[in-house]
Amino acid sequence: MHEKKINMNLNIGIIGSGAFGTSLSLYFCNQNHKATLYTLSDHRTKPLLENRVNDKYLPHHTLPETLEIVTSIDDLEKQDIVIVALPVSAIIPFFEKHIEHFKKMSGKIILAAKGFLPHEYSTSNFIFLADYLLHRMGLNAYVLSGPNFASEIAEGKISASTLAGYDEDETLKISQALSSSYWRIYPSNDVMGVSFCGAAKNVYAIASGIAFGLDCGQNTLSALLTRSLAEMKRLGVKLGAQESTFLGLSGVGDMILTCSSTQSRNMKFGLELSKGKSVNDALKFSNGVVEGYKTCQRLFQLSQEYNVHMPIVNSIYGMLYENQDLKTAIIKITDLPLKTYENQ
């Protein structure tokens, strides 16, 4: 893949017209970049072109006429930056289908999806998208993550994110080029840690949704968040993440947002479970992909493989995949041996 020098006025392609992809398109247009939004289906493209509104995901924002909306991957080959804002499960098939186009692209690839590699692609060496793309497809990708709801990016509310990449100098340049007065994007060299935090926190958001729905109280929610961060860090560090990442935007920052707001699909999923809905019914109720559902299974497997104590993950896994009732799952979390803080 040929690298292209990053300038301040950019041609930016966004793949995926969901909530985040549409919000990114709006943001970059407002920053006077030339944005191109690639949609995967004609039925979604037509209303976007005719009405300049994404009725399903971002209904209260009009897309500017300067935003180009396309359905051909050829239109992205000369972009300075291409941001992939698709569900994790769709990304590898998409890259496999269009690999020759991606290899011809001169721009940087940024992944805006949060989650583990789907099981059929995951190995002991590759559990995240960026590693898989680099070692299996020869594509160097950066990872964008942090405490960001798409709607607030679109509204221009002050936000902050992390951009992780293997090349520190290039990561810094891209961060500077994409940042604005109200969206600050901070560089990191911890691709593993940023990827891991972005995926793992979705499981704890499910737990928070359950606790919130059961009216457990602020004491419970605070304790749950604290212990969630601790067990998330235990596994992440074993996988190779840097400890400092867990106290940054993509770690505790993203966890606080996702675990404390009903805008979060994962928290809403937990909330529906607390009402007595079955797992399948709660999944159907969610407007979009509940990444934490499949991520929980992967976290559970990794905790067993690396012998890491993760009682919260174990409890949520038991409820989602072993038909344990809510009360049993909660008892598993609360009825643990008391240890010194460092060992909890």
Rounded to whole angstroms, the Cα distance separating 147 from 134 reads 26
| Cα torsion 30, 33, 36, 37: sign | negative
Convert the pLDDT of each residue in 46-104 to its tens digit: 888 888 999 888 889 999 999 999 999 999 988 999 999 998 889 999 999 999 999 98
For residue 228 the two structure tokens come to 């969630």
Q: Taking 70 as the threshold, does the pLDDT of residue 314 lie above it?
A: yes
Residue identified by tokens 């985040």 is 20
Q: Taking 60 as the threshold, does the pLDDT of residue 138 lie above it?
A: yes
Domains of the chain (ranges plus CATH)? 11-189 (3.40.50.720), 195-343 (1.10.1040.10)
Give the catalytic positions in this structure.
201
Residue 45 neighbours by CB under 8 Å, 6+ apart = 17, 39, 69, 71
For residue 70 the two structure tokens come to 């396309």
The H or E element containing residue 44 is helix 42-51
- What's the chain's average pLDDT? 90
pLDDT band at 124; cut points 50, 70, 90 = low
Selection from 111, 69, 71 nearest residue 91 by Cα: 111
For residue 316 the two structure tokens come to 């949520």
Higher-pLDDT residue of 172 and 325 is 172
Q: Are 69 and 1 in contact (CB under 8 A)?
A: no
Q: Taking 90 as the threshold, does the pLDDT of residue 333 lie above it?
A: no
53-62, 114-123, 173-182: the lowest-pLDDT one: 114-123
Rounded to whole angstroms, the Cα distance separating 117 from 175 reads 25
The pLDDT assigned to 57 comes to 86
Mean pLDDT of 293-304: 94
For residue 250 the two structure tokens come to 């993509």
The pLDDT assigned to 2 comes to 47
Q: What is the pTM of this model?
A: 0.91
